[in-house]
């Protein structure tokens, strides 16, 4: 039986919108495919495990929580980058996206260094955008962010917002994905709402991964949830 180890970074600090549901979605889909799953949590001040995990998950939090987590990650960034070079995958949601970026530029102009795992630099604009979104590639959810994202290029973006109940979010280019790192500003139940990304991540970890047939009910519910958002935003 294959084994999957997920390391959840700072779940007591970065838990703004129930992002732990993303870990549960990965765990459940992996188990339905016959994979044994171990989820480990790392809180502020604790040391990284000695054994490299298959996946690191970083959720979202307030700005203060993000700054607290960033101070901790500065001490761990070399090892985490080594893990990624050795095959560890990373999923980052909301503020987690800031933390894996090249850096977050604060309103006062100061820069908070990220892990440098994406080709993006983030800046706090003060213009808070909140709304449901439909993104290219049958991808939907909820964005609550005041970040402007600068990119070296757009080729690794996760998707473009096509429809939203917040007009300023239309044409917003979200996220990052390169086969090792997945990051998005779609918060809350990102994977439960968009399970194809869960399967994509599991497939990157286990090349022979085949999702279990029992996921059909979950996939149907997720499809209905995305369709409901699509209807609400006028798609």
Report the CATH number that the domain containing residue 39 is assigned in CATH. Answer: 3.40.50.880
Average pLDDT, the chain: 94
Q: What is the pLDDT of residue 108?
A: 94
pLDDT in tens, 49-73: 999 999 999 999 999 999 999 999 9
Q: What is the pLDDT of residue 16?
A: 83
| Contacting residues for 70 by C-beta, under 8 A, at least 6 apart | 98, 99, 104, 112, 113, 114
* Torsion angle of the four alpha carbons 136, 137, 142, 148, in this order, in degrees rounded to the nearest 10: -50
What's the whole-model pTM score?
A: 0.95
Average pLDDT over residues 171-196: 95
pLDDT in tens, 29-46: 999 999 999 999 999 999
Q: What is the pLDDT of residue 1?
A: 65
User: Quick one: tokens of 78?
Assistant: 């070399």
Domain that holds residue 66: 3-232
Q: What is the pLDDT of residue 60?
A: 94
197-215: b (≥16 Cβ within 10 Å) or e: bbbebbebbbeebebeeeb
Average pLDDT over residues 141-156: 94
For the chain, the domain total comes to 1
Q: What is the pLDDT of residue 19?
A: 85
| Contacting residues for 60 by C-beta, under 8 A, at least 6 apart | 14, 15, 16, 17, 19, 93, 94, 95, 96, 187
Q: Is the pLDDT of residue 212 over 90?
A: no
**Contact present, 98 and 147 (Cβ < 8 Å):** yes
pLDDT tier, 18 (very low <50, low <70, confident <90, very high otherwise): confident
């Amino acid at each position: 039986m294959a084994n999957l180890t997920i390391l959840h970074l700072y779940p007591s600090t970065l838990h703004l919108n129930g992002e732990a549901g993303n870990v549960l979605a990965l765990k459940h889909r992996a188990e339905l495919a016959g994979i044994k799953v171990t989820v480990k949590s790392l809180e502020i001040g604790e040391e990284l495990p000695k054994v490299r995990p298959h996946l690191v998950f970083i959720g979202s939090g307030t700005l203060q929580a993000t700054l607290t987590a960033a101070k901790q990650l500065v001490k761990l960034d070399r090892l985490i980058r080594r893990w990624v070079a050795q095959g560890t995958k990373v999923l980052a949601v909301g503020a987690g996206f800031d933390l894996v970026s090249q850096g977050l530029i604060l309103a006062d102009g100061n820069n908070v260094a990220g892990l440098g795992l994406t080709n993006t630099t983030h800046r706090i604009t003060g213009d808070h955008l909140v709304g449901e979104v439909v993104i290219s590639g049958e991808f939907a959810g909820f964005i609550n962010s005041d970040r402007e994202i600068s990119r070296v290029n757009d080729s690794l973006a996760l998707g473009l917002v096509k429809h939203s109940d917040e007009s300023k979010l239309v044409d917003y280019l979200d996220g990052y994905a390169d086969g090792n790192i997945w990051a998005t500003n779609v918060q809350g139940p990102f994977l439960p709402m968009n399970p194809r990304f869960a399967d994509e991540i599991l497939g990157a970890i286990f090349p022979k991964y085949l999702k279990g047939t029992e996921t059909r009910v979950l996939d149907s519910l997720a499809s209905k949830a995305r369709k409901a958002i699509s209807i609400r935003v006028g798609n």
